[in-house]
Amino acid sequence: MNIDWGSVLYQQEKASINDLKIIVEEIDKAGKENKEELEKKLEIKLKGLILPNEYLAYHYMATINQKLSDNFREVWQKQNLKVNLEEVIEKWELTKYIKDNFICPEVNISTLPSYSFILNFMFKLKKPYISLDENDFHIIDNPLRKDKVLHLPFVSPSSWKGSLRNSLWQLNYDYENDKIRRIFGNERSPISEDIALRMGRLCFFPTFFTKKSLEIINPHDRKRRVGTVPILMESVPQDTTGFFTLLYVPFDLIGCDEKEIRKQVSEDIQLVSEGLKSMFTYYGFGAKTSSGYGTTYENITDGTITLRNKSVKVSVQEEKFEFPKDSYKKFLDENGILKDEFRGKNGGPLSNSELGNFNGSQKEFKKFKTWYNDNIEKWQKYLKSQNTPTSEWPTWRFEGFSELIDVSKNIATSLESSGVHNES
């Protein structure tokens, strides 16, 4: 299949590449004045080959003219130092479709067995994410893995599964541990074919990214302590966001004793939460995790756990805070965000030195600032909870991995204390 694909693309790009070869030969023979003009002409034509058949074009150039392929690689590097794929998606008018079906997929757990749960959240990379693509044709040796249709960088479900399993192993949960086997399943034994295989309870969804860049590693010579051969690696850059979705289905507990079901589900949800925190914030996911790549920040957004069981009540400890006075609300929008005209250079309310052109009572505004510093985060959180649609099934929310651990313990306690499940 790759050979047929390469043959077709070769025929498409052959004429353009031969023209470029002629320009390179002219550059070698040209004087200084004509050389600069020809080099600009070459760069413009090379950019025309960047899409859609850049990888094949590069490998074909390397076979006919090494200098031409080096020039093409240099142009490609400049264009790929920082790439925002959202711009391409908007150009295709696929923003909503990709968000709903790829970036933030929705899962209806109403059709699943009781005690199934869906866990999802938006995370932000603290260090770049690196993986390895399966494409045979590429300009560099370390490309990111991308999907076949949209060419978006992504973390595959199998990668998520392997990374989480490894993180739990680092936490001394052996692969033969009963809890590990029931959520991940078991592997075929190399010694015996008679061991019954079982599927795990966890189902992972892919995570797609809309940004990519290039990382450079320059290994140093041990004697000279100088790097001479920089290595390029395609990556998802730091501070890029991704949406993680995990589905838990206790299919093998259907018809079992209710008390045993609640016991196992409460154990599993705490185990998964512990593993997720370790994987995202410490051990990482993807390639070169031992060097710190593939880790995220502690704080996350839109974190939810939805459990398919109405007998379990959502017990949330409400934070105490002071509601804003009516006179303070004119400084905030409907989401509790400070309005631009009252925002200072540091992002917070106007400082005393910035109140020179302030229209209104400065005394009142200073009191508002005191309230703002003590209560604004809790007020914004409260508004967000009021504006969130009510879910059919009990849903817990969290804004960090440490909070996820607390929520999982809360759910486990509720499960152990709840009675027979009620599906109505």
Task: Give backbone dihedrals phi and psi of 194, rounded to 5 degrees, phi first.
Answer: -85, -10
Question: Between 59 and 368, where is the model more confident?
Answer: 368
Q: Which residues, at least 6 apart from 122, have a Cβ–Cβ distance to it below 8 Å? A: 241, 242, 243, 244, 300, 301, 302, 303
Whether the Cβ atoms of residue 173 and residue 180 lie closer than 8 Å to each other:
yes
Q: 262-300: per-residue pLDDT in tens?
A: 999 999 999 999 999 999 999 999 999 988 899 999 999
Q: Give 162's pLDDT tier (boundaries 50, 70, 90).
A: very high
pLDDT tens per residue across span 134-160: 777 778 888 899 988 888 999 999 999
Residue 32 is predicted with a pLDDT of: 67
Least confident of 107-116, 268-277, 410-419: 410-419
Do the Cβ atoms of 393 and 310 come closer than 8 Å?
A: yes
Amino acid 378: pLDDT: 79
8 band by pLDDT with thresholds 50, 70 and 90: low
**Is residue 201 helix, strand or coil?**
coil
Least confident of 48-52, 118-122, 207-211: 48-52
Q: What is the pLDDT of residue 314?
A: 65
Burial label for 325, CB within 10 Å (0-12, 13-18, 19+), is exposed
* Reported confidence tier of residue 315, pLDDT bands at 50, 70, 90: low
Q: Which of 117-131, 309-323, 375-389 has the highest mean pLDDT?
A: 117-131
Beta bridge partners of residue 363, listed in sequence order:
none
Q: Which of the listed ranges 190-199, 211-220, 252-261 does the model predict with the highest average pLDDT?
A: 252-261
Residue 264 and residue 253 in contact, taking contact as beta carbons nearer than 8 Å: yes
pLDDT band at 47 (very low <50, low <70, confident <90, very high): low
Q: Distance of CA 216 to CAs 77, 136, 289, Å?
A: 11, 21, 16
Mean pLDDT for the stretch of residues 311-322: 67
Supply the pLDDT for residue 72. 77
Q: Which two tokens stand for residue 103?
A: 């970036």
Task: With a cut of 50, say whether residue 424 has pLDDT above it.
Answer: no
Report the relative pairing of strands 241-248 and 117-124 from DSSP bridges: antiparallel
On the question of pLDDT at 204 being above 90, the answer is yes
Q: Tokens for 128?
A: 């770049």
Res 140: pLDDT: 82
User: H or E stretch including 398?
Assistant: strand 395-400
Model confidence at 203, pLDDT cuts 50, 70, 90, reads very high
**Region 56-75: what's the mean pLDDT?**
76
- Candidate ranges 169-178, 224-233, 273-282; pick with highest mean pLDDT: 273-282
DSSP 126: S
More confident residue, 422 or 242: 242
How high is the pLDDT of residue 68? 75
Of the candidates 213, 184, 275, the residue with the CA atom closest to the CA atom of residue 82: 213
Terminal alpha carbon distance of the chain? 52
- Amino acid 7: pLDDT: 62
Of 206 and 216, more confident: 206
- Average pLDDT score over residue span 236-251: 96
Q: What integer pLDDT is reported at residue 78 of this predicted model?
A: 82
Contact 107, 245 (CB under 8 A): yes
Say yes or no to pLDDT of 318 above 60: no
Q: Is residue 10 scored above 70 in pLDDT?
A: no
Percent of the chain with pLDDT over 70: 85
